[in-house]
Amino acid sequence: MKAIISDIHGNLEALRAVMDDISKQNVDEGIYCLGDVIGYGPNPRECIDLVMDCKLVLLGNHDQGALFDPDGFNPAAERAIMWTRDQLEQPTEARQIREKRWEFLADRPRSFKENGNLYVHGSARNPLNEYVFPEDIYNQRKMEKIFTLVDRYCFQGHTHVPGVFTEGLQFLTPDDVSMAYKLDGKKTLCNVGSVGQPRDLDPRACYVLYDGETIRYRRVAYDFDVTVRKIYEIPDLDNFLGDRLREGR
């Protein structure tokens, strides 16, 4: 069984809580991270250091934004990524440590295929930037194009909204499936949710356990007030980035 996480966004408290929860599960195939380790949150360096031990880490759009000029970000997200970049360049740390983090981010793949499964940050069509929202089940043309690029199962993040998309154009929330979805061989998209910034009105961190047959969602409580206070103390991080953690939005 593997654990699949995504969208940590510099939230160290959430990541530590999730890692602790994973350590109590029967995860023998490692942790797969679908990107956006940084951006928005107050602890980018520490989060990068923690995910270096994951079996797979993909590139997310915020990770790319730190490496290059951020493109298509709203003003608050752009300020946050510029602050994040500055944190990764802090001269108070040894040059070898700084270079190791930058090299790690630069080496991240945009997608990964394994045993008929596809792992991306955004979508099968645009692994880095395309959002697949629950309401896209009503956009038949878009969904059909995405499904044609999937051999069997695709795991993704980016929207921070967990749930399963079926080829029959259904979207099933974790609650709809009682936190577990039995796969039947038909093409399926799985959004694993967000560790560090959930947006489904549940403030708990979210990730997935996958054993090849069943997707199991996990929700993990953490002390988000600690993260919120850190964000409030950083002028370049909009207070809203902290406020939203309390409500999962």
The count of domains in the chain is 1
Indicate which CATH number applies to the domain containing 32: 3.60.21.10
Question: For residue 92, what pLDDT is reported?
Answer: 81
Report the mean per-residue pLDDT for the chain. Answer: 96
Segment (H or E) for 161: none
pTM of whole model > 0.85?
Answer: yes
Q: Classify each residue of 64-98 as buried b or exposed e, where b means 16 or more C-beta atoms within 10 Å of its C-beta.
A: bbbbeebeebeeebbbbbebbbebbeeeeeeeeeb
pLDDT for residue 58 is more than 80: yes
Longest Cα–Cα distance of the chain, Å, equals: 53
Question: For residue 221, what pLDDT is reported?
Answer: 98
CA angle, 222 as apex, 22 and 47 as ends, to 5°? Answer: 65
Strand order in the sheet with 214-220: 56-57, 31-33, 2-5, 205-210, 214-220, 180-182
Which structural domain, as residue segments, surrounds residue 123?
A: 2-247
Q: How far apart are CA 58 and CA 120, in angstroms?
A: 7
Nearest to 166 by CA among 135, 190, 133: 190
Percent of the chain with pLDDT over 90: 95
Segment (H or E) for 43: none
